[in-house]
Amino acid sequence: MSQPDRVMQTEIARTDNEVNTNDTVRRAVAALQAGEVVALPTETVYGLGADALDPEAVEKIYAAKERPHFDPLIIHVPHKNSLYEVAEVPAEISKTVTQLVETFWPGALTLVLPRKPIIPDIVTGGLSTVAVRQVNHPIFHRIVKNFGGPIAAPSANLFGLLSPTSCQAVEDQLDGRIPLIVDGGACGQGLESTILKIEPGENKPVIRVLRPGPVTEVELKKFGKVVFADKNADVEESAPEAPGMLANHYAPRETPLRLLERPEDFSPEEGKTYALLSYRGQPKDGFVDLYDWDEVSVLSPGSGRVAEAGIRFFHVMRQLDMLDVDEIIAEPVPDRGVGKAILDKLRKAAVK
């Protein structure tokens, strides 16, 4: 499945003016039609896209990322109604599905539904369900609309490493492995989509969050009872269905990371160097003045709090990983809103 590093030339296609954007859209669509993979900007993170209905094209995604085939891909549809071409929507949840699609699409919400036979096994890892989203990004939108069919696209990183939120971050990991990256600038949301499954429930629908993300519990609870997969008794049942939720993911490449619940838990080793990944950079949180850190990087230096931290998370992690320190020590972030998604990633990035 894996391929050697840097076997091809990777081109970067710009989108900084109308003329080159038109050309880039044409090139990306032509590449997808030719069964190639293309890295594409979205509002969450960069995706590595291919024709979702062409198993050979999809195989190139797994190869470039060195991603195991049991980890299924999200498919991205051109129109809201395209959902019904790729997934079955059971009658007992159809009202909720319609409400969620009308409220959050295009956007950072992925729905897991029974799949239609048109979806190849390689996309779903053989599961009976398929994960579907409509992206809210102007360049991606033009590409998927002109392509005219679903695009399978996981995050454009090597399996298990940090998700990319800029063209440069994609290049760092996939240069020489893919033919084309569409540079759409920095991603506006910075965290992967919220993934959920809907079940009928007794009094109201159950919204089972398989992966926390930018669409939060507060926004979802208008539509049903929100249950998080990791807090539920049937984790074992749901975990293999959302492999991105398993341990050891989102890890920095070079530098181990440790998440500390409390400042008192930190006991530095002599001769080692440490960087602090701080939530707000506030001494009153107890971490900033705890130690003579080699570097302090702040997730939310402005007043945006968890939302700002979410936008900056992968970018800041990448910068820390490029420093020459022995270990990254992370402060906890609040377990609410987008903070849930950040905490989830910090826990998975941490060395066990």
Residues within the interface to Mg ion (CB under 5 A): 155
Helical axes 167-174 vs 305-322, angle rounded to 10° = 40
Residue among 21, 155, 165, 300 that touches ligand AMP (CB under 6 A): 155
Residue among 29, 209, 210, 229 that touches ligand AMP (CB under 6 A): 210
Helical axes 138-147 vs 18-33, angle rounded to 10° = 40
Q: Which does 241 bind (CB under 5 to 8 A by kind): ligand AMP, Mg ion, none?
A: ligand AMP
DSSP 233: T
Min dist. Cβ of residue 254 to ligand AMP (A)? 21
Q: Which does 243 bind (CB under 5 to 8 A by kind): ligand AMP, Mg ion, none?
A: ligand AMP
Q: Which does 127 bind (CB under 5 to 8 A by kind): Mg ion, ligand AMP, none?
A: ligand AMP
Q: Which does 101 bind (CB under 5 to 8 A by kind): ligand AMP, Mg ion, none?
A: none
Cα gap 21→183, rounded to integer Å: 10
Write the CA distances from 205 to 87, 99, 196, 198, 251, integer angstroms. Answer: 19, 12, 12, 7, 34
Question: Considering beta carbons, is residue 74 or 298 the nearer one to ligand AMP?
Answer: 74
- Our finding on whether 144 is near ligand AMP (CB under 6 A) is no
- Our finding on whether 344 is near ligand AMP (CB under 6 A) is no
- Our finding on whether 154 is near ligand AMP (CB under 6 A) is yes
Given the rule CB under 6 A, which of 67-75, 220-228, 302-310, 338-346 is the region that contacts ligand AMP? 67-75
Residue among 52, 122, 131, 325 that touches ligand AMP (CB under 6 A): 131
From first CA to last CA, the distance across the chain in angstroms is: 27
Q: Which residue has the tokens 């702040």?
A: 298
Q: Which residues of 14-39 are buried (b: 16+ CB within 10 A; e: fewer)?
A: ebeeeeebeebbebbbebbeeebbbb
Cα gap 130→41, rounded to integer Å: 22
Residue among 72, 106, 224, 337 that touches ligand AMP (CB under 6 A): 72
Question: Considering beta carbons, is residue 155 or 189 the nearer one to ligand AMP?
Answer: 155
341 three-state secondary structure: helix
Segment 86-115, which members bind ligand AMP (CB under 6 A)?
Answer: 112
Q: 76 - beta bridge partners?
A: 133, 151
Q: Which residues bind ligand AMP (CB under 6 A)?
A: 71-74, 112, 124, 127, 129-131, 154-155, 192, 195, 210-211, 241-245
